[in-house]
Structure 1
Amino acid sequence: MNMSHEEEEEENNLSLSKFESMLKTNKVFFFDSEEFEDIVLHYMDTGRINLAKKALRLGLEQHPKSTGLKLVHVEILIYDDKIEQAEKILNEIALLEPTNEEVFIQRANICSKRDQHEKAIEHLREALRYTDDEADIYSMIGMEYLFMDNLELAKDNFILCLENDEEDYSALYNVVYCFDFLDQNQEAVEYLENFIDKNPYSEVAWHQLGRQFYALKNYEKAVWAFDYACLIDEGFLGAFLEKAKSLEKLKRYQEAIDCYNITIELDDPTSFAFLRIGKCYEKLGNNEQALNFYLKTVHEDPLLDKAWLAITDFYISQKNYQKSLYYINKAIGIDGENPLYWRRYANINQYLNFFEEAEEGYRKAFENGDVELDNFLCWSDVLYVLGEVSGAFEILNQAKELYPNESEILYRIVGLYYNIDEEFNAIEALNLALLTDFHKNYILKDLFPHVWESENVQKIIKNHNI
């Protein structure tokens, strides 16, 4: 019988293989207590709790006094939320071994489960007095401070962890996470540069340094840092991707394309890489290749809205509105609740003077969550063109609730009031619009030329311009 990949992995480990064999044959083999600990922890780490419990039971039968196995038992009890039972065993161990660091660590785990993070930290500080592995304890203290949202102290403890174990990459990621959360990008750069001075071949540190330079918009330096990460680890997908993004920011589009192509060679092609390559080709003016990669993107991920919008916008930029309408309709067919699709659908129909379809698009965009100012403005403009003045008013009043002092709304309201001969309200709205943003009075000229040309309106505008 062919063995599964997992079984092959377990065969590589003598103890695990022997234990599996024992379970299959019902024979009882002898293992020393440390072997049992490793077996139980292996099953816990791989999520096979029933096997972990079985191994623990057999282990305790063979080694009933083993402190290590009792501590593993405590871990399983904590996992099962049997906290009181776990505490009872811990108290028994503490009486026999008062300086056993694991007792303090497990007590900290219990406190952490109860959201008593300050108490957990006290236990971990006790563990520090007796441990040979300070790095792990500092990392645990850091995590407790993270749970308490104390990012500064979390960062300090992850840094202490790295001082004791420079290869603890999860601690390095956590340090950088804290710097990021605290908006301390420049401080992160200084920390990472010092770390790299001591660990020049740490591709993770170079990659994180590149990310900080990118956040600081120093794209030249970002490329430089990502380059080192890629040189140290030629299969570092994330570093190649972020180097490509930085090259795009520097408008070095062909180099960015080359970098994205490396990511495609390293792993299965991603829709993100195809989309970015398409964007780069479009920037280079190579429309044929741009379209080719946009089509590859939607083939790879038919639900990626950015890809459908890229194809639609590509055809809009070519003024090929029929083609862009075809593609946005395909996108809506895939996801009819995407407000971005409906907004584009409305824009294209407005270009083509299909005002009823455009009105439907803006309405559907709103119904699916689009409350951007532009959507309200375009929607009201289309309703006005269709002669639905009361509908246009309704939309602008809705917009006004979200954007109370927006001159683009106010000037449109002026035009609509004049259309229904409510001159008093129109003048009041015009004075408010001119006070809010005098320079946008061109909206009246563009959308309501007959209102703009009115003597009274010109007089009010001139008075405001004095």
Structure 2
Amino acid sequence: MEFSQHDEDDNYSLTKFESMLKTNNVLFFDSSEFENIIQFYFENGRIALAKKAVKLGLEQHPSSITLRLFQVEIYILEDKLPQAEKLLDALHVLEPSNEEIYIQKASVLSKRDEHQKAIDTLKIALKLIDSEEDEADLHALIGMEYLFMDQFENAKSHFIKCLELDMEDYSALYNIIYCFEFLDLHEEAIDFLNRYLDKNPYCEVAWHQLGRQYFTLKDFKKALAAFEFAIISDDTFVGAYLEKGKVLEKMKMYNEAIENYNMTLALDEPTSFALLRIGNCYEKLHSDDLAVQYYYKTVHEDPLLDKGWIAITRFYNKKKDYHKALYYINKAINIDDDNVRYWKLYAQINHRLNFIEEAERGYKKTLDLGNYELDTWLARADVLINLGEYEASALNLIQAAEFYPETAEIEYRLAGIYFTLLENEKAQYHLKNGWLLNPEFSFILEELFPLIANHQMVLNIISNSKKTSK
């Protein structure tokens, strides 16, 4: 690789500066050297060294506006906004037409959540700049401020202006599509991307984004074509292979999906997502040994990925190996304790193993987390009945009835509970209700309360209800 004289000078300045820091010998640099050194450290995230360079630079060149602006940047990074603002005011007096002063003022205002004022300030800077590159950067900054205010149309407008000035600014392209997506304008996003691709036919990022839009609209054939063009544009584009794999899964082309996921493993470090998807594809192909092998690889790659543990749980649950399923559902819950689906599966597995108390705990947690499906209420009621906790089961069913009024499955259970508790008046009321709602569910009494079902009082009520219904 050939280096320009400018690159060699910059490298020499950096080496000289870092040597000075190690030896504590104070060496002289001109202001432009300091500017390049500081810029290099900022761009590489080495803020502590940038701070040292600013300090030493200002000691040697105290009147440099640019170095003082770097000091402003340091203040803003350290959240020292009053100091930043004070220095900016002083600099504004010296150079009222310096656009960088307005940009930094906008940064301070943005930090204070005064986004509209930041936008107004950036628009002043926009009038002062004289290069397309700087103009593009300012439109991107204005777009970000509008995003902070959830003004997606305005944000999109400025990101589009940014992209028009710099067609290879992929950050702007991503932000434009983000705005389209938030506004639920997928067709419009597709039109925009197609126009962009007319001018940049080998832009893998645009093809990738186009594929994602088609995928959202469930137009899988067009999505597949877009991802294939992304791969033609860049055959090392891992994201395109992943998305293509997802499309192929939706099209039930599992072997082809596996090929694409395997490409991502060959191109880059293995990802838990790709391994998990490969496992899922093998399971769909009924290659159970390979499926579970990849599920184990998934959790080996990322032991904190709850989706990996839940995949293994469901695999063993389907195989009716409930002891193994229970072991792995506990792994998933330890990672995500607030996942309602995990707790429901935990409850169901314990129920199947006849671990009744743990099943009840699982169903209760499921309800506490907001899963108010009827089968959850009923399952918890049945478990409480099994435990002899009739009052608790009745309370659970009464709560369920608030969500599911006039439900026969609830009424028959309440009838059986109240007969058991010798509260015959309540029991008769719920039994009659249950019969009126659906006589076919009367088997619930026989299943859950076999002694009650053959009680003469119950038989009389059912007999009378039959006559009344005729």
Greater alpha carbon shift after TM alignment, 251-260 vs 296-305: 296-305
> Contact between 1:274 and 1:293, CA under 8 Å: does it hold in 2?
yes
Q: In 2, Cα distance between the equivalents of 1:207 and 1:60?
A: 47
CA deviation vs aligned residue, 1:373-423 (integer Å, no higher than 9, x gap): 33332121233345443332133234445x354835455435544555656
> Contact between 1:257 and 1:280, CA under 8 Å: does it hold in 2?
yes
- C-alpha change, 1:39 and 1:388, in structure 2 (3 Å) is same
Greater alpha carbon shift after TM alignment, 368-377 vs 119-128: 368-377
| Structure-2 residue corresponding to 1:3 | none
Q: In 1, Cα distance between the equivalents of 2:8 and 2:416?
A: 77
Matched, 1:288 2:289: yes
Alignment of 1:109-188 (within 5 A): 109-131=107-129, 132=131, 133-188=134-189
Greater alpha carbon shift after TM alignment, 140-149 vs 282-291: 282-291
- C-alpha change, 1:271 and 1:111, in structure 2 (3 Å) is closer
Q: In 2, Cα distance between the equivalents of 1:194 and 1:333?
A: 48
**Deviation for aligned residue 1:261:** 1.1
> Contact between 1:311 and 1:324, CA under 8 Å: does it hold in 2?
no
Q: In 2, Cα distance between the equivalents of 1:300 and 1:264?
A: 12
- C-alpha change, 1:16 and 1:329, in structure 2 (3 Å) is same
Alignment of 1:415-430 (within 5 A): 415-417=416-418, 420=421, 425=426, 429=430
| Structure-2 residue corresponding to 1:195 | 196
**Deviation for aligned residue 1:161:** 1.1
Q: Which runs of 5+ in 1 are unaligned?
A: 1-8
> Contact between 2:10 and 2:36, CA under 8 Å: does it hold in 1?
no
Greater alpha carbon shift after TM alignment, 127-136 vs 234-243: 234-243
Identity of aligned residues (%): 50
| Structure-2 residue corresponding to 1:379 | 380
Greater alpha carbon shift after TM alignment, 23-32 vs 143-152: 23-32
| Structure-2 residue corresponding to 1:42 | 40
- C-alpha change, 1:412 and 1:199, in structure 2 (3 Å) is farther
| Structure-2 residue corresponding to 1:314 | 315
Q: In 1, Cα distance between the equivalents of 2:466 and 2:66?
A: 86
CA deviation vs aligned residue, 1:275-317 (integer Å, no higher than 9, x gap): 2212111111222222222232333334433333333332333
Alignment of 1:22-61 (within 5 A): 22-61=20-59
The number of residues matched between the two structures is 447
Code of the residue aligned with 1:93 in structure 2: it is L
Alignment of 1:194-273 (within 5 A): 194-273=195-274
- C-alpha change, 1:57 and 1:294, in structure 2 (3 Å) is closer
Q: Structure 1 length as normaliser, TM-score?
A: 0.83
Code of the residue aligned with 1:25 in structure 2: it is T
Q: In 1, Cα distance between the equivalents of 2:37 and 2:347?
A: 62
RMSD over aligned CA atoms reads: 3.4
Q: In 1, Cα distance between the equivalents of 2:309 and 2:8?
A: 46
Greater alpha carbon shift after TM alignment, 227-236 vs 292-301: 292-301
Q: In 1, Cα distance between the equivalents of 2:463 and 2:265?
A: 61
Q: In 1, Cα distance between the equivalents of 2:441 and 2:188?
A: 47
**Deviation for aligned residue 1:429:** 4.7
- C-alpha change, 1:86 and 1:298, in structure 2 (3 Å) is closer
- C-alpha change, 1:85 and 1:278, in structure 2 (3 Å) is closer
CA deviation vs aligned residue, 1:202-222 (integer Å, no higher than 9, x gap): 211111111111221222222
Pick from 315, 318, 332 the counterpart of residue 330 of structure 2: 332
**Deviation for aligned residue 1:127:** 0.8
Greater alpha carbon shift after TM alignment, 98-107 vs 62-71: 62-71
Partner of 1:13, secondary structure, is helix
Q: Structure 2 length as normaliser, TM-score?
A: 0.83
Q: In 2, Cα distance between the equivalents of 1:430 and 1:186?
A: 55
